[in-house]
Chain A
């Protein structure tokens, strides 16, 4: 078997090992990479930065642990920015494994900023059928959420006094790992005209650029890069996503090399056959 044929039939476990080393080694070497901020992420940052104390923001935490790596840093950074400004946050989860994500985020940040449940924020919890829940919140939050995640009546909370539906919110920022993102655009923005911004996984990011251009969403944060861009703008102490970008750089170099080597092997072995 020629060299190029052997190159083409390399055991996949060698590829896996190369990938594992490409991820593991940079974790032990301190270096940084430049992060270029895009217009779509800056739009979200500028909006949150323009909020004033007492303004209300709905945050939808709709991701499972499989998307936590990309979306949790975004959610943490934006929530911290809002709490620091005194913005009132309304958390909701429409994905079945997201309640745990949101509970962890809410518990961590409420202790960090000394925020009180029912006064500074409310965590509505989870309900099935995301599309219908999004529509019902446009009428009245109490239709789907008469009680919060902890079983407290929302009407007994000071933060909910005079709050009825999306009209009382400045915007929705939804952190999505699935099709519920389409529902926020179609139902929340389409019917109730509430401004919507999305934080999505890298896999989904390319699909949502049309909605930025059509102004159906006012900002888009895509994957770990989007999270790192937001962290760069927010200048907070904890920068989980930014620390991961150096590893992304090395692994992307490795993947591009794989593509190049694979194609060299393909064309050279094809040339030999001719």
Chain B
């Protein structure tokens, strides 16, 4: 580990401990790290946007390749900035309208296909009691139906409808429980990574000393 690496990793370890200090109580070190990350992430994103998006999509096509039709979306994009002016903010509606129209239009058939039709088709599988997979398909179909019934609040949840909604909420709770179980693993993974980094750094530092 060279000196530059020790210093950089030392800074990383210090900032990690600054964040962890909030577990005891709020303090200036935590606030320092919190505000620093906001600025650094904004600056990082600005540079990535410049090199990866602005230069290849705007600057080079217009000023080097002379594709002047790219000035149209460029002007539209610049019009977005009028959002900050009280007098001219209505002008920003044009680029927003273009984005929303295209984005929403594209989403309608694709969402219908990918999140309604295909899942419905996948739910309607051969069902029965003669094998485990057939029985599982039956459970899935009933589970999806009951959970969807639970979300139908236009009708009162009474009688048979209410019974199906009750089964639906049980199915949903199983889903949320599974999600929580996996969430614990997910959150702990991040903590393991940070502690591993701190262990490795301090072990190397002690080794050098």
Contact = CB atoms under 8 A, between A and B. Distances in A.
Interface of A: 13, 16, 19-20, 23-24, 27-28, 66-70, 96-97, 99-100, 125-129, 131-132, 135, 145-147, 149, 151, 185-187, 189-191, 201-203, 205-207, 210, 213-216, 222-225, 243-244, 247-248, 251-252, 255
Nearest to B115: A186
B179 interface: yes
Contact of B122 (A67, A126, A210): A210
User: Is the interface on chain B under 10, 10 to 19, 20 to 34, or 35 or more residues?
Assistant: 35 or more
B1 interface: no
A205 B182 contact: yes
Interface string B174-187: 01001100111111
A20 B21 CA distance: 12
B45 A96 contact: yes
B192 A69 contact: yes
The dominant DSSP class at the B interface is helix
Contacts of B103: 129, 131-132
Contacts of A207: 179
Given A190-B113, A190-B114, A214-B121, A248 B189 contact: yes
Nearest to A135: B106
B52 A126 contact: yes
B52 A127 contact: yes
Given A97-B44, A132-B103, A214-B121, A222 B182 contact: yes
B90 interface: no
B41 to A, nearest CB: 7
Given A24-B195, A223-B186, 17 more contacts: A28-B199, A69-B193, A70-B190, A126-B49, A131-B106, A132-B103, A132-B106, A147-B56, A186-B110, A186-B113, A191-B113, A202-B189, A203-B182, A203-B186, A216-B118, A224-B189, A244-B193
